[in-house]
Amino acid sequence: MADCRTFLLLITVGLLGVGCTAFKTFPQAARAGDTIALAVGSPDDMTRKNTTATFKSAADLLPTDITANIRSIFKLYPDRASSIYEPLVSTAKEIVSTSGHEPWITIVTLDLPTGLTTGPGQITFNTTATYPTIGSHINTIPIALEILPGIGTPSDFPYELGVGATGIGDLTKLEAQTHATVSPRYPSPSCPCPDYGAIEVKVRMPTSYGTTLTQDMLRVLVGDMTVQTGSGRGVSYGLSGGKDLTVIITSPSGRLKYYEARFSVVLPSFITFSGTPTINSVSYYDVNGSISTGPASDYVVALQ
């Protein structure tokens, strides 16, 4: 029931409903034992570690805990050439303005357990993840699912590697690796703030690799909020001494918002953070390169 066509529909969900929470699963009806996918909005830091799920049939008095059946929780991002990013008419900008992070849709895949009661029912999630203020939290929205007669089979998501070779899809590879997220509080109690020409953030990063960590080992991922800000932001970063990271975000038009200084630092799987990174300094500049004011101390660093 679930094959590569599943991913095609998931992508469609991401494009058409950025930030929206589904009221029905895909598919809308499935057999106990089948694999299903759910679009659960645009939460910040929703993972299998902080999320539980239950299924309750309309015919049953008590819900069934299906947390152990959650297979993967990952994000989908819209194509930046799509209408989701079209200036003036984009709905994605509402996600940015009510969350302080770039647009994404979070997908939960799970293998339904066998033995569920046939007929209409609902899946309910509970998570400590933070949701944009534009819509309801997933904790308050049961998602409808009808259980069909028969016994289903979990999908192994087979795919073609090329030249006739095939593989089995591991959906956990779509989940975020352990990373450090650096972000200004949103909304900042120090703002309203002016627009900027550049923001420079310096971070001390303790890792298991010590002073031998090199820049090519890092992935520094700066959120793209330009659908809301129109900043046309550029990004550069450098590492010195194996632990001091400098991230510079620029806007030639001087339209950079303070909340665009949100980024994640991802280490290779064989390296770990030996402690939570700390902010050394945050500097703000106007479009002419002069020092400007900004919420320099109002930052949060979290290992996720």
Instruction: For residue range 47-100, list pLDDT tens digits in order.
Output: 999 999 999 999 999 999 999 999 999 999 988 888 888 877 888 888 899 999
Q: Do 4-161+165-173 and 177-303 agree at the fold level?
A: yes
Q: What is the mean pLDDT of the chain?
A: 90
pLDDT given at position 91 = 81
CA distance 292 to 297: 14
First-to-last CA distance in the chain? 33
Q: Which of 93, 40, 47 is nearest to 67 (CA)?
A: 47
Q: Which of 189, 222, 187 is nearest to 97 (CA)?
A: 187
Q: Which of 51, 39, 47, 42 is nearest to 9 (CA)?
A: 39
Residue 284 φ then ψ, to 5°: -120, 145
pLDDT given at position 264 = 98
Say how far residue 103 (Cα) sits from the centre of its chain: 8
Domain residue spans of the chain? 4-161+165-173, 177-303
pLDDT given at position 290 = 98
| 177-303 CATH fold | Immunoglobulin-like (2.60.40)
pTM for the full predicted model = 0.89
Instruction: Please state, in angstroms and as integers, the Cα–Cα distance from residue 231 to each residue in 71, 186, 227, following that order.
Output: 37, 18, 9
Q: Does domain 4-161+165-173 fall into CATH 2.60.40?
A: yes
pLDDT given at position 22 = 60
pLDDT given at position 135 = 80
pLDDT given at position 14 = 41
Largest CA distance in the chain: 69
Token pair belonging to 104: 């994404």
Sheet holding 24-32, edge to edge: 64-65, 51-57, 119-127, 143-151, 24-32, 35-39, 105-111, 70-76
- What residues does 51 pair with on adjacent strands? 127
pLDDT given at position 217 = 95
Mean pLDDT by 10 residues, the chain (304 residues): 36 46 73 94 95 97 97 93 84 90 94 96 96 90 94 88 83 94 95 97 96 96 95 97 97 97 96 97 97 95 94
pLDDT given at position 238 = 97
Token pair belonging to 243: 């632990």
pLDDT given at position 34 = 96
Cβ-proximal residues to 50 (8 Å cutoff; 6+ apart), any chain: 127, 128, 129
pLDDT given at position 23 = 59
